[in-house]
């Protein structure tokens, strides 16, 4: 006999978990099914990112990224404090090391003012040294409201609270949604283990968002392209050289924040990530390969336009991915005293970017709906920080377009 649920959420990263949590708070009488194909929650982007609670300082004023990051950050800190998720609002430095970076540092500062970022201060070279004694720069911005967090723990807590709110709700791990059937009055979600009847569906598929959307009949022109980010770690002898978080001024022509230093909640110090095209969407090794994923990406015009538009950056990133010496050289821009013995290879993560046909990766958060479903199509960084705010947006969309009260 098929189990029936009012709502099915597909994807157990932090955006799916936050959506389940917010939906269950808003609609306590509705049963929600969360399906995750991995054996644990937060096993891809959420559990393999830098673990940073972003302030919202980088994002264009008025954008969904800016608004949701600021609101989501404040809500995430409050949530973590209330429910015992491990976090620390430790602050970070954004450091300019060259004169040409000062113009963009000023732009970041102005974005912070427009976005209502609290606890921002400009810092001089001497003040940089006071905050981070081993860091060298010509100017900087200290952002006191930036923090670090256990995103896996936050994800698990959101689902735990949702399940406690409604006993008829359920979490299914190691279960992959492979097809959808439509009829009246219900839809059917077919997985590799069962079939469920549901009233409405919400897709938070991350690295698989475009494929799930197409399976659900969404006419989507863009494709998700994955970028692997490799990290190094500071060895025990070097951990004293980083106290909190240290970021470079990001290059405005490159769609990533650049290699940075992050003190994690477990006490480790990570350095990275770089950003290289990955030949497997869910591949974390440098030689991981999927023929399906590779053909999918390389048959898409947007991928080639991205390569052509960022040729020099791409080559530099690949060289650094396979050269500890080049990776170290990049790190030494911020902390010149680092040596080869101070860093050791760490983990890797993969980021999903919904890539436009013109090769532009810098799209805002993007959520769309059909008459029976809602799709979170593009949720790159700072989506983990913004997850609770994104969950609220999805809930509001459900109220409006599904007629729920």
3-state secondary structure of 85: coil
pTM value surpassing 0.85 = yes
Within a domain: 317? no
CATH code where residue 26 lies:
3.50.50.60
Within a domain: 167? yes
Within a domain: 264? no
**Average model confidence (pLDDT) for the chain?**
94
Within a domain: 392? yes
Within a domain: 288? no
139 vs 88: CA distance, rounded Å: 25
Within a domain: 212? yes
* pLDDT tens digit sequence for 104-125: 999 999 999 999 999 999 999 9
Within a domain: 343? no
Element of type H or E holding 245: strand 245-248
127 to each of 95, 119, 130, how far by Cα in Å?
11, 15, 5
User: How many folded domains does the chain comprise?
Assistant: 1
CA dihedral 62→64→70→71, nearest 10 degrees, is 110
Q: Tell me the residue range of the domain where 380 lies.
A: 3-46+152-222+364-402
In angstroms, the first-to-last Cα distance of the chain is 29
- 405 residues of the chain, pLDDT tens digit each: 689 999 999 999 999 999 999 999 999 999 999 999 999 999 999 999 989 999 999 999 999 999 999 999 999 999 999 999 999 999 999 999 999 999 999 999 999 999 999 999 999 999 999 999 999 999 999 999 999 999 999 999 999 999 999 999 999 999 999 999 988 889 999 999 999 999 999 999 999 999 999 999 999 999 999 999 999 999 999 999 999 999 999 987 776 778 999 999 999 999 989 888 899 999 999 899 999 999 999 999 999 998 888 887 778 888 888 899 999 999 999 999 999 999 999 999 998 889 999 988 777 999 999 989 999 999 999 999 999 999 999 999 999 999 887
Within a domain: 143? no
Asked if residues 151 and 51 have their Cβ atoms less than 8 Å apart, the reply is yes
3-state secondary structure of 196: strand
Question: Which residue in 393, 361, 362, 364 sits closest to 63, CA to CA?
Answer: 364
* pLDDT tens digit sequence for 266-304: 999 999 898 888 999 999 998 999 999 999 999 999 999
Cα–chain center distance at 400: 27
* Greatest alpha-carbon span in the chain: 69
């Amino acid at each position: 006999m098929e189990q029936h649920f009012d709502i099915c959420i597909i994807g157990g990263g932090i955006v799916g978990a936050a959506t389940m949590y917010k939906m269950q708070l808003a609609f306590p009488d509705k049963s929600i099914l969360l399906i995750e194909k991995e054996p644990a929650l937060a096993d891809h982007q959420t559990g393999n990112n830098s673990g940073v609670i972003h302030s919202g300082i980088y994002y264009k004023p008025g954008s969904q990224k800016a608004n949701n990051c600021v609101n989501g950050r404040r809500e995430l800190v409050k949530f973590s404090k209330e429910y015992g998720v491990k976090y620390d609002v430790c602050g970070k430095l954004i450091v300019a090391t060259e004169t040409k970076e000062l113009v963009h540092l000023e732009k970041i500062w102005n974005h912070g003012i427009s976005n209502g970022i609290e606890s921002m201060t400009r810092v001089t070279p001497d003040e940089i040294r006071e905050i981070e004694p081993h860091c060298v720069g010509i100017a900087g911005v200290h952002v006191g409201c930036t923090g670090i967090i256990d995103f896996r723990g936050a994800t698990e807590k959101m689902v735990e609270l949702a399940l406690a709110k409604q006993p008829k709700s359920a979490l299914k791990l190691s279960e992959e949604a492979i097809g959808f059937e439509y009829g009246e009055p219900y839809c059917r979600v077919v997985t590799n283990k069962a079939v469920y009847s549901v009233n409405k569906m919400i897709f938070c598929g991350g690295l698989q968002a475009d494929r799930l959307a197409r399976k659900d009949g969404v006419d989507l022109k863009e494709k998700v392209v994955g970028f692997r980010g490799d990290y190094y770690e500071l060895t025990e002898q070097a951990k004293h050289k980083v106290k909190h978080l240290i970021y470079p001024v990001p290059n405005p022509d490159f769609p990533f924040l650049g290699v940075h230093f992050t003190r994690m909640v477990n006490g480790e110090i990570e350095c990275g990530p770089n950003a290289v095209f990955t030949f497997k969407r869910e591949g974390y090794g440098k030689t991981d390969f999927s023929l399906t994923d590779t053909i999918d990406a390389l048959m898409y015009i947007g991928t080639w336009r991205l390569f052509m538009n960022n040729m020099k950056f791409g080559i530099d990133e690949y060289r650094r991915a396979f050269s500890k010496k080049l990776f170290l050289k990049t790190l030494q821009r911020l902390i010149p005293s680092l040596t080869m013995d101070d860093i050791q290879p760490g983990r890797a993560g993969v980021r999903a970017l919904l890539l436009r046909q013109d090769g532009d990766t810098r799209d805002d958060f993007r959520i769309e709906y059909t008459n029976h479903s809602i799709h979170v199509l593009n949720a790159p960084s700072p989506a983990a920080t913004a997850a609770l705010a994104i969950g609220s947006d999805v809930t509001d969309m459900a109220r409006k377009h599904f007629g729920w009260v």
